[in-house]
Amino acid sequence: MKEQNVNSTATSELNVVPFKTRVLPYLIVAPALIITIGIMIPFIMAIYFSLTNYSFRMPKYNFIGLQNWINILTSSVFWKAVWVTLRYAFFSTVIEMGLGMGIAILLNNLNNKFSKIMRVALIFPLMVAPITATTVWQLMLNNSVGILEKFLNIFGIYNFPWAASPSTAMMTVVMIDVWINTSFCMLLVLAGLQSLPKSPFESAKIDGGSTMFNFRNLTLPMLKPSLYIALLFRLMAALQEYAIIFALTQGGPGDTLMNLSLTAYQNGFQFQKFGFALPYILVLWLFINIVAKQIVKRQRAAQKQAAGLEE
């Protein structure tokens, strides 16, 4: 509400020359918009070409209606890819949110020298390119030079398969994703914790509320807006994860890790069936949009609720 007021006063005060102010904003936004809208064209093209049998190999293509869509939606490959996408997104997001929140609470509670150093050092994994991070993990997972193999040998486990076996591959990529992105959730939660107002907690102390009670009824509702933002960013990225899986196993072993992004890539670039690749990724885009809208809606509601608690 406050921001709205600031904006409207801004308009009235800059409204000296009406025509100029009416057009000026569009002119200023235009370059940014043109640059990004140039990139928008692919979205529209993607929808059109999903209705054709376009291939990079052939010079001509035909309009084939919903044929690609029907073929894909009735194939087991598609549903398998959906299942992999959802599982990957669920496990990585849940672990990152939970772990990130836990670490943020630890850092906030401890407030000693060790925790202050860790506040800085723990963001390093987040800044390393996912592809580089995966490379580093490959160096660790490797059975001949990898340190993890030597570590597991202590416990009598030999030749742990990691990414090589269908039963442990998902766990391995999720672990790498968690390694990279937990600090993202940690940073957002920590920022949320440190901006908590003091007064509600002081009055709760006088009322004699338990730590658990305070956490559930004060900390958590006031943290919710930050948590939703972390959830939004992580979930959206995890649903379309590509780099980590590609670098680790290219979707293998077999089709164990073929999510929608990788399946679309494989069909489009390796099999060169461009039109056939698009529905996979369009479905993902639609799904991401719906989920993102829901999270944004909830985030706004949580923000209003938190603002109410602060008073």
CA atoms within 13 A of residue 303's CA, in its CB half-sphere: 11
Residue 94 interacts with another protein (CB under 8 A): yes or no: no
Stretch that binds another protein, among 39-47, 66-74, 152-160, 197-205 (CB under 8 A): 39-47
Total interface residues for another protein by CB under 8 A: 104
Interactions with another protein, residue window 214-273 (CB under 8 A): 225-226, 229-230, 233, 236, 240, 242-243, 246-247, 260-261, 264-265, 268-269
Beta bridge partners of 63: 52
CA distance 277 to 275: 5
290 in helix, strand or coil? helix
Tell which one of 58, 66, 70, 123 touches another protein (CB under 8 A): 123
Residue 212 interacts with another protein (CB under 8 A): yes or no: no
Interactions with another protein, residue window 167-196 (CB under 8 A): 179, 182-184, 187-188, 190-192, 194-195
CA distance 255 to 260: 11
Q: How far is the CB of 173 from another protein (least distance, A)?
A: 15
Tell which one of 71, 138, 214, 219 touches another protein (CB under 8 A): 138
Residue 53 interacts with another protein (CB under 8 A): yes or no: no
Residue 95 interacts with another protein (CB under 8 A): yes or no: no
CB nearer to another protein: pick between 159 and 195? 195
CA distance 74 to 98: 36
Q: Where are the beta strands (DSSP E) in the chain?
A: none
265 in helix, strand or coil? helix
Classify residue 270 by its DSSP letter. Answer: I
CB nearer to another protein: pick between 139 and 220? 139
Count other C-beta atoms under 10 Å from residue 187's C-beta. 20
